[in-house]
Amino acid sequence: MIRQQKRALEKQNRKPAVRNGLHDRTREIIRRLKRAYPDALTALHHSNPLELLISTILSAQCTDARVNIVTKDLFKRYRSANDYATTDVKELEGFIRSTGFFHAKAKNIIGCCKGLMARHNGKVPDTMEDLLQLPGVGRKTANVVLGSAFGKTVGIVVDTHVKRLSGRLGLSKKSDPEKIEQDLMPLVPRKDWIVFPHLFIWHGRKICQARKPRCSECPVNDLCPSANKFAST
């Protein structure tokens, strides 16, 4: 009994050290990536919250570069939520066809903007609760808009790059984006919640790519438990 109690106490005493170690490693990763990518911001071109909302919906299963090409003309034609809400779906599909899944995206954009007109006088709301009630808006899209358009730290954006890098760096073992977000939020200082995904996205595109990560050039390779595995292959 005494031995069991002693082991339990030792186990409890070890937990904070492991937890703090992961916290410290996460902060060091952020510090180094900030130094490597001092200009890390959202790559989606926009001039107001509505444009960012539309761009983020279009970015699903599509590159930001392609979205920016499409929205260059799209934002000249559609300037308000009412413009989208009252447009012909076929016309909108014609503008966004090259982003992929254009039938669903056009439907979501029109439905979303009808919701903006009905509930928010055509303005994009700045709360997670209100954004999630709009058609086509999930937590990732809401986090993008809240962070990059309103500067609100409500959560952490988890896209494919953040998901991949969080796993490789040992920050989360989950596969579901919302569960990954829940793992990241206690690790990442709240002041960095907005910039954190931008850092991971930039790093994921430039160095920690999906198929062939360039570990020898990575500024955080000594902090990455996956570095040796990729180096050996």
What single string gives the DSSP state of each residue in the chain?
A: -HHHHHHHHHHHHHHHHHHHHHHHHHHHHHHHHHHH-TT----S--SSHHHHHHHHHHTTTS-HHHHHHHHHHHHHH--SHHHHHTS-HHHHHHHHGGGS-HHHHHHHHHHHHHHHHHHHTTPPP-SHHHHHTSTT--HHHHHHHHHHTT---S-----HHHHHHHHHTTS----SHHHHHHHHHHHS-GGGTTHHHHHHHHHHHHTS-SSS--GGG-TTGGG-TTHHHHHH-
- Say whether 159 is catalytic: yes
**Type of residue numbered 200:** F
Give the gyration radius of the chain's Cα atoms.
21
Q: Which of 6, 83, 90, 159 is catalytic?
A: 159
- Say whether 24 is catalytic: no
Q: Which of 15, 140, 173, 212 is catalytic?
A: 140
d(CA 54, CA 85): 12
In this structure, is the dihedral angle defined by the CA atoms of residues 41, 226, 191 and 176, taken in order, positive or negative? positive
| Residues with catalytic roles | 140, 159
